[in-house]
Amino acid sequence: MSTWSRRRVETIVLSVVALSSVIPHRFFVESRGLFLAEAACLCIAFVVAEFSRRFVDRSTRAKRVADIAAVTLALIPFVFAVASRTIGRPIAFEIATLTVFGCVSLAMAIGATTHRIGSLALIISGFLVLFSASISDSSYAVVFPVIWMLGCVWHLIANHWERLDLAMPESVQRSWSLRPSVVIVTLLVLVVAGYAMKDRITSSKRLTAGLMPTSGGSEWSDPSARSGVGSGDAAVAAKDRAESFGAVDSDIFLESTESSLFDMFNDTIGEPKQKNKKQERAQAMGPENFIQSHARNAKSEQGGGSFSTDRLPPKKHHHFKDATDASVVQWDGPTGIRLAMQRYDTFDGHDWNQSADLSNEKLARVPMADAVWFFDPFLRGVLQRNPDAASVGLLKVIRLDAQRLPVPMLTAGVHIKEIDRQDFFGIAEDGSFFMPGREKVPPLTVVHVASVVLMEDEIHEKLVVAPAKDFPENGSLVREEEALRNVFEGTLTSPTASAIQELVQSAIANHTNPVDQLNACVEELRTRFVFDREGESSATSLDEFLRSRRGGDHLFATTAALMARQIGLSSRLVTGFYVRPDAFDLSAGHASVLPQDVHVWAEIRLNDGRWFEIEPTPGYMQPHYQPSWSLAARRFAVATWPLMSVGMLTLLVAWFTRRLWIDCLLTAVWSLGRWLRPRRRIRLAIGIIEARARLAGHRRPTGKSQRAWLEQLTRTNAKIATAARNFSDAAMSCFSVMATHRRAKRQPNWSLFYASTPSPP
Amino acid sequence: MNLTAHNPASTKPLGSDRSIPDVSSLRSYLRGVLLGKEEQIDLVIACLLSRGHLLLDDLPGTGKTTLAKAIAEGIHGQLARVQCTPDLMPADITGFSMFNQKTREFEFHPGPVFADVLLADELNRTTPRTQSALLEAMAERQVTIDGKPHPLSETFFVIATQNPIDSHGAYPLPEAQLDRFAIKLRIGYPDRDAQRRILQREVRTVDQIETVTKAESPLSLSDLRHLQREAQSVAVHPRVTDYMIDLVEASRSDEAVELGVSPRGMMCWQAISQAWAMLKGRNFVTPTDVAEVARPVLSVRLLTHGETVDTAIDRIMNSVPAPEYK
């Protein structure tokens, strides 16, 4: 094994080429740090496996290290796929699978002891390189298969040239061997699999072209799914070009009579149509942005006897009104979240109002890779400190009759393709994004929304009960805080206030930490109250709600906001839309938000000025705040330490006493062996001996026959040596040609043999 | 199948019912002559039983000639000895026709190849021409002189020796011809105990010098022929056959091996394994038999580069899993 083998080196190189073909799929998309860490781990495992293999002939430990390194090599991508999912930067399933493929092929190429395994590694790497080229968008992707194939052809020629004539069609002898056991097992698996899916055959659908089934099903959307995956051409176009409209059927925004963000003159498509009378803010745009695919093929019709030059303008395609989609907006991003439209910070006992003024018409203009973003200056600072905390979603406005943009909480910035006008965007006095100077956001506008991802640790750290007196540099915030508290104390009627106080007291009884108190309040509402928006018994006022414990989400949100204030936190009410988790249409690549998805919830203020949302209404998904590694680990340790320590202890004991219990197990297995036929019993006996030898670290060398090995093992003890020789004499007769035709008649004295089974040193 | 561990049927001596002295008598006879070399003697007998020829690659004075003589005596055959020198001609080996003045006819004078056991000493010292004449006789078991074929003895057995040191002025045997030998052996120096016995054997009293007679071997040439036929009938299980094929193919695809085992070599290997199994008192070949004879069989026909033949053989043997008891 230590000799330099050209064949082996070639197999390894081809595997490495195949594995590298996955890199372009990952490098530009995934978290850079994680990817580099994975690559570094792979390199280390590879080097260790290769290096320790040099000493395999000399020490068994080197062999063990080499084997472990090879197995680790194959497991690393799997581990990273799981880990990346846990920390919220998932690697797409199919990409992780491809990497696993590459690493398995590499590990096999490194550890191959026979040519067959090497060939298998070659086949796997070939599949990988072809597959990853076939799913790539880049025109350079073909380079990898070309390199691989050149290498492979060289490899095949160099190693099999002499045998080539044996493989010629005329010299190949067809043979057909059927192994009954394999056939039976295969049939069994097929039957079981068929039975398992017998009800699903009729309900299955054809997959859309380009859809990778591992990226999500019809019931969930995978956060790691890449753009374009699982969506049609139109949706891709919609993401790439603001002026296109892929979500409903296919029409071009320019051809609609709705007011546009763009004033685009285009002589090539004929006479301009009559636009709406009112003219809103618009940005000039060149004709190069026109999508050619909207030009229709001419229909062939039978020509008449005459040809008129007086023509009506060409018939336009179907219009926006023809769209069958009932959505208010479409959202391409995580589902189960809330899109906020309006926020209110003051409650007078009946009505919520906005009193603080958070408006800002001067958003920070940030050009980023061909795109111009407009950022909330405060949240932009947060993002600048932690650029990885950004999450980008895509919003398509369909029938929203408002200036405001429904965006997720902590939205830091927005971007519309080709729009570079600061006066298009602003922040309203309640802190929501809106588009000033127009009646409504033009329908079919595609807005890219970047929001800050809030970690659970930050909530723990920054959720403080004390009023924000320690913010001297921001006087308005202090005032705002005080106003919120005062308003609450002054305006509520005493029965309502005391009811809420009681509710809070019972909920937070055992908690001292504000985060736990808040969670307890939310949990109280979610478990003890019934959500009923339209029913007869639904409450119509806050007092009634607190009595009947049954009402709409606005009452839940109000109660939650008031309870939070009771604890000492600042809160506000938010209205907007809820993106149902089942609203994601996989084939379209977006979630449709319908008019009935309007929703009310509450937000709580952190002491750094950020607001995070809580979901008090049962039936709506709670916002998920990702805990950091350390927090998750601590929490896991606290929750499971008895089990973990006992488990670890058990594993350790099991490991150190492995010889003992495996030996007992083998003895038990042997005692069952008496019902076996003698031939099988020989097999069992030698199997047990070999298992014990493996356990003791003295595995039988591949090329050594069992007899020679047994004799070598038992050389030192004459009694055992005799037993081993007798056993070998008996067992050896399985190589006698006559023996296969005869049945066993006499039974050997096995107990004697087993009692003296050699214990390997 | 009989699984009796204490009284395996397989240990029953072969041919004992036919009142033919079995092979163990030859073995004990040879052991009495060449002390402390049990395994080499078994291999030589296996070679004899498989109708192969033997190449001894050894230092002077290690008992090559003694062994050849003992074999010839052991089978009651005729021994011929050729000292191969550069001026040895093919006719010196095969024989020649000489014109008889009296009868006015050509008379054939048979050469040493017509003996039962031929000892060709230091074969690599003679010219390739003579070498090939001998090797041809070995393969064909007949010589053609003046267009007339002369069959050799049915039990014709060649023991050729090569002196590994002092290769000056030697003509190394070509690979193609080496393949005609079944096995290559190295007798080597005997161990301390055997050396002591050798020396003590030589010390005799005055009376003994006259009376000492060698033990008589009970085996005759026809017995040997019978045993050879019996060795050929030793069964080979299909799994053992596959194992051998795997080994042969491994030898052909090994990196360090330039020339792997030929089909002729493969047949030879099987024949030696059969004889080996017979020597062990069995009528079937086990993988252990194949492995035990691998080194002498392969060392004569593998041509390696970059490493020694022994290392290559070790690697080949270790790379193919031996069939297990099933």
pLDDT in tens, A621-635: 888 888 888 888 888
| Interatomic CA distance for residues A356 and A353, integer angstroms | 9
Amino acid code (one letter) for B163: N
pTM: 0.52
Cβ neighbours of B292 in A, within 8 Å: 708
* Contact between residue B119 and residue B82 where contact means Cβ atoms under 8 Å apart: yes
How far apart are alpha carbons A412 and A430 in whole angstroms?
A: 15
**Residue located via tokens 């008379």:** B107
pLDDT, residue A757, reads: 47
**Cα–Cα distance measured from residue B2 to residue A742, given in angstroms and rounded to the nearest whole number:** 9
Cα separation, B7 vs B22, in Å, equals 20
- Residue scoring higher pLDDT (A134 or A650): A650
The per-residue pLDDT for B9 is 38
In this prediction, residue A261 has a pLDDT band, given cuts at 50, 70 and 90, of: low
Is there a contact between A132 and A21 (Cβ–Cβ < 8 Å)? Answer: yes
Rounded Cα distance, B170 and B190, in Å: 27
> Which burial class, exposed, middle or buried, applies to A355 when counting CB atoms under 10 A from its CB (0-12, 13-18, 19+)?
middle
- pLDDT higher than 50, residue A755: no
Q: What pLDDT sits at residue B155?
A: 86
Is the predicted pLDDT of residue A741 greater than 50, yes or no? no
Residues on chain B touching A704 (C-beta within 8 angstroms): 291, 318, 322
Instruction: Identify the closest residue of chain B to A737 by CA–CA distance.
Output: B237
Q: Could you identify the residue written with the tokens 């926020």?
A: A343
Instruction: Tell me if A736 and B1 make a contact (CB, 8 A cut-off).
Output: yes
The pLDDT, as a whole number, for residue A278 is: 61
Question: Which helix (H) or strand (E) covers residue B310, if one does?
Answer: helix B309-319
Cα-Cα-Cα-Cα dihedral sign, residues A605, A606, A612, A614: negative
Which range, of A244-248, A345-349, B272-276, averages the lowest pLDDT?
Answer: A244-248
Residue A79's pLDDT is 92
pLDDT at B223 over 90: no
Q: Give the one of B4, B237, B320 whose C-beta lies nearest to A737's C-beta.
A: B237
Edge-to-edge strands, sheet with A364-368 = A364-368, A371-375, A411-416, A446-452, A390-397, A329-332, A590-593, A584-585
Range of A15-24, A503-512, A575-584 with top mean pLDDT: A15-24
pLDDT of residue A424: 86
DSSP summary character for residue B323: P
- Continuous H helices in A54-163: 60-86, 93-111, 115-134, 143-160
CA separation for the pair A723, A759 (Å, rounded): 13
CA angle A280, A281, A283 (to 5 degrees): 130
Q: What is the pLDDT of residue A158?
A: 86
- Residue-level pLDDT at B4: 32
Nearest to A447 by CA among A401, A407, A420: A407
Q: Are A394 and A331 in contact (CB under 8 A)?
A: yes
Least confident of A208-222, A659-673, B252-266: A208-222
Phi and psi torsions of A88, nearest 5°: 85, 15
- Which of A3, A727, A733 has its CB closest to that of B256? A3
Least confident of A346-355, A596-605, B121-130: A346-355
Q: How confident is the model at residue A252 (pLDDT cuts 50, 70, 90)?
A: very low
Read off the tokens for A259: 């007011």
A 6-45 residues inside an 8 A Cβ radius of B: 6-7
First CA to last CA distance, chain B: 13
Give whichever of A209-223, A245-259, B111-125 has the largest mean pLDDT. B111-125
Please name the member of A3, A4, A686 whose beta carbon is closest to the beta carbon of B324.
A686
CA dihedral sign, ordered B219, B220, B225, B226: negative
- Residue A152: Cβ within 10 Å count: 20
Residue A291 has pLDDT above 80, yes or no: no
pLDDT above 90 covers what percent of chain B? Answer: 14
Query: Which pLDDT tens digit goes with each residue over A659-704?
Result: 889 889 999 988 888 888 888 888 888 888 888 888 888 888 888 8
Q: Are A405 and A329 in contact (CB under 8 A)?
A: no
Asked if A327 and A596 touch (Cβ cutoff 8 Å), the reply is no
Structure tokens at B316: 């080949």
Which are the contacts of A668, defined by CB distance < 8 A and separation ≥ 6?
A: none
Residues from B contacting A (CB-CB < 8 Å) are 1-6, 8, 10-11, 235-237, 239-240, 253, 255-256, 282-288, 291-292, 306-307, 315-326
Over residues A160-168, the mean pLDDT reads 75
- Beta-sheet pairing, A338-344 with A571-578: antiparallel
| A549 has pLDDT over 80 | yes
pLDDT of residue A493: 64
Say if A749 is an interface residue toward chain B (CB within 8 Å).
yes
Long-range contacts of A708-712 (CB under 8 A, 24+ apart): A708/B288, A708/B291, A708/B292, A710/A758
- Distance from C-alpha of B81 to C-alpha of B159, rounded to nearest angstrom: 9
**Confidence band for A103, pLDDT divided at 50, 70 and 90:** very high
Q: How far is CA A30 from CA A25, A34, A119, A142, A655, in A?
A: 9, 8, 32, 22, 38
Q: Is residue A743 over pLDDT 80?
A: no
Q: Is B201 helix (H, G, I), strand (E, B) or coil?
A: helix
| Alpha carbon distance B148, A278 (integer Å) | 123
The CA distance from B111 to B94, in Å, is: 5
pLDDT mean across residues, chain A: 78
Between A649 and A269, residue with greater pLDDT: A649
Higher-pLDDT residue of A401, A37: A37
- Residues A346, A487 contacting (CB under 8 angstroms): yes
**Residue A748: pLDDT band with limits 50, 70, 90:** very low
Please tell me the least confidently modeled range out of A592-601, B20-29, B101-110, B271-280. Answer: B20-29
Give me the interface pTM, i.e. the ipTM: 0.73
Is residue A699 within 8 angstroms of chain B, CB to CB?
A: no
pLDDT at position A330 over 90: no
Q: By percentage, how much of chain B surpasses pLDDT 70? A: 89
Per-residue model confidence (pLDDT) at position A69: 92
Contact between B1 and A734 using a beta-carbon 8 Å cutoff: yes
Measured CA to CA, the distance from residue A283 to residue A298 in angstroms comes to 32
User: A68: buried, middle or exposed (CB in 10 Å: 19+, 13-18, 0-12)?
Assistant: middle
Gap between the Cα atoms of A315 and A696, Å rounded: 86
Per the CB < 8 A criterion, the answer to whether B37 and B187 are in contact is yes
Q: Please tell me whether residue A553 adopts helix, strand or coil conformation.
A: helix
Question: A82: which 2 tokens?
Answer: 């799981």
Which residue, B283, B284, B301, B182, is CA-closest to B247? B301
pLDDT score of A18 more than 90: yes
Residue A171 is given by DSSP the state G
Q: Has residue B49 got a pLDDT over 60?
A: yes
Of residues A650 and A204, the one with the higher pLDDT is: A650
* CA gap A317, A295 in Å, rounded: 10
Summarize chain A as % helix, strand, coil (round to 5). 50, 10, 40
DSSP 8-state code for residue B223: H
Nearest CA in chain B to A690: B324
Percentage of chain A exceeding pLDDT 90: 17
pLDDT > 70? residue A206: no
Q: Which residue has the tokens 């596959």?
A: B242
* Interval B74-93 mean pLDDT: 88
Which of A7, A703, A706 shows the shortest C-beta gap to B325? A706
Q: Is the pLDDT of residue B181 over 50?
A: yes
Q: In this predicted structure, what is the pLDDT of residue A39? A: 94
- Report yes or no: A42 and A36 within 8 Å, Cβ to Cβ: no
Q: How confident is the model at residue A143 (pLDDT cuts 50, 70, 90)?
A: very high
**Looking at the predicted structure, is the pLDDT value of residue B129 above 70?**
yes
Question: B187: pLDDT confidence band, cut at 50, 70 and 90?
Answer: confident
Residue B209 C-alpha, separation from nearest chain A C-alpha, in angstroms = 41
Q: What pLDDT is stored for residue A747 in this prediction?
A: 42
Are residues A533 and A597 in contact, defined by beta-carbon separation less than 8 angstroms? no
Element (H, E) at B158: strand B157-162
B8: nearest CB among A703, A730, A735: A730
Burial annotation A702-740 (CB, 10 A radius, 16+ → b, else e): ebbbbbbbbbebbeeeeebbebbbbbbbbbbbbbbeebe
Bigger pLDDT: B171 vs B317: B317
Which residues on chain B are in Cβ contact (under 8 Å) with A745?
Answer: 2
Is the Cβ pair A3, B307 closer than 8 Å? yes
pLDDT above 70 coverage of chain A, percent: 76
A748 touching B (Cβ < 8 Å): yes
Check if the beta carbon of residue B53 is closer than 8 Å to that of residue B47: yes
Average pLDDT for chain B: 83
Considering only CB atoms, which chain A residues are within 8 Å of B5? 726-727, 729-730, 748-749, 753
What per-residue confidence (pLDDT) applies to A301?
A: 53
Chain A, window 544-563: residues with a beta carbon less than 8 angstroms from a chain B beta carbon: none
User: How many angstroms separate the Cα of A555 from the Cα of each of A133, A560, B201?
Assistant: 55, 8, 117
The band of A324, judged by pLDDT with boundaries at 50, 70 and 90, is low
Give the mean pLDDT of A452-480: 65
Among candidates A415, A449, A343, A410, which has minimal Cα distance to A623?
A410
* Residue of A3, A683, A739 lying closest to B255 (CB–CB): A3
Q: What is the pLDDT of residue A116?
A: 86
Banded model confidence at residue A287, pLDDT cuts 50, 70, 90: low
Q: Which residue did the predictor score with more confidence, A615 or A464?
A: A615
| Mean predicted confidence (pLDDT) in B39-57 | 90
Residue given tokens 């040099």 in the structure block: A54
**Residue A236 reports pLDDT greater than 60:** no
d(CA A639, CA B162): 80
Which residues does chain A have within 8 Å of residue B262's beta carbon, measured at their own beta carbons?
none
Q: Does A306 touch chain B (CB under 8 A)?
A: no
B10 pLDDT more than 70: no
**Amino acid type, A62:** A
- 3-state secondary structure (DSSP) of residue A405: coil
If one compares B127 and A217, the residue with the highest pLDDT of the two is B127
The reported pLDDT for the residue numbered A469 is: 42
SS3 B167: coil
Statement: residue A133 has pLDDT above 70: yes
* Banded model confidence at residue A140, pLDDT cuts 50, 70, 90: confident
- Return phi, psi of residue B150, to 5°: -120, 110
Q: DSSP secondary structure string, A725-755?
A: HHHHHHHHGGG-TTGGGS---S---HHHHHH
**What's the whole-number mean pLDDT along residues B197-204?**
83
